[in-house]
Amino acid sequence: MQYDEEVMQMTPVTEAGTETPGYVAGTWDLDPVHTEVGFLVRHMMVSKVRGRFTDFKGTIHTEKSFLDSTVEVSVDLNSIDTDNEQRDDHLRSGDFFEIEKYPVMTFHSTGIRPKGEEFELDGELNLHGVTRPVTLALEINGFTKDPYGGTRSGFSAYGEISREDFGITFNMPMDGGGVVVGDKITINIEVEATLRAE
C-alpha cells in the first residue's frame, strides 16, 4: 500500500508540546493477538486478582491532529479470564455481569486532552446496562512499519472505575470487616493496532 509521504512524516504537536515522530493518520484495527484488555480488583481485602477479556474488537481513528482522534471498543463479557473457571462463572452470573442480559461492554471516546507528556482519554463506558463517563490516562507508544508491509501503532491506557457506579453491587461481607470483592476496578489496556488499507 502506498502512503502519502506528507502523512507518514507528520509529527503532531499538542498544546502540551508532546511530539510523536512517525505519526500516521488513518483507521486502525486492534490486533487481538498483541492487545490486552485487563483489570485488577482487590480480593478479601488483602490481595489483588488480575483478569482479562480475550474476545474484543475495536477501531482507532487517528486524525491529522491527534487531539481529534477517536476510539470505539466492544468487549464480549463472556470471555472473562481470571485463571479460575469457578470464579469466572460467578462473574458471568447475575451477581456481577449478568451476561445473559448484558453480554457486551462498550466504550467510545468523547475527547482527548493533553496532560504533561501524555494524554487523557475521555469517553462513555456502557456496562451492565449503565452508561457513565470514564477518563483514562493515555500514552502513545509509537508507530512503525512491520515486516509484512503493514503499519502498526501502540498505545497504553489505564484508569479506575467503581463497579457499583454500573449497578454491580454484589457484596459478600467478611467477619473481620470489609467485603470479599472490592468496589474499585483498575483498568489496564495495552494496544497494538494495524493500519487499515483504505
Mean pLDDT of the chain: 86
Query: Which long-range contacts does 11-18 make (Cβ < 8 Å, 24+ apart)?
Result: 12/64, 12/65, 12/66, 14/66, 14/67, 14/114, 14/119, 15/67, 15/114, 16/114, 16/115, 16/116, 16/117, 18/114, 18/117, 18/118, 18/119, 18/140
Domains of the chain: 26-195 (2.40.128.110)
pTM of the model: 0.86
Task: Give pLDDT tens digits for 73-100.
Answer: 999 999 999 999 998 999 999 999 999 9
pLDDT at 2 (0 to 100): 39
Residue 177, pLDDT > 50, answer no
